Structure 1
């Protein structure tokens, strides 16, 4: 899941978004970077394929 177009960014940030411990911190991280560094950072959220269907529906909508 790529949130911001990588062609405009100077830096790429890849982070885990998985059910449980990493789910809400991933949303907070992405929200902060989108608010304060949107033009400078390409965001790439990663979730292992066998876990993606366990993400909260709001998380899926966000990403």
Structure 2
């Protein structure tokens, strides 16, 4: 799995950080998404997929390998 984020689309809702804090964070100055792990391990795949599904801006893209 590879994770991609489209930062300009981000609306800083923080849902991804609440669901998968090991993979996502937010910038202090504006709350925009920060990708911490572009290729998370299998134990995080479920929460990454959930983060992508709940993102209100559809700014998270999961590429399955």
Q: Same fold (TM over 0.5)?
A: no
Determine which structure has the larger helix proportion and give its number.
1
TM-score normalised to structure 1 length:
0.40
Pair member with larger Rg: 1
TM-score normalised to structure 2 length:
0.39
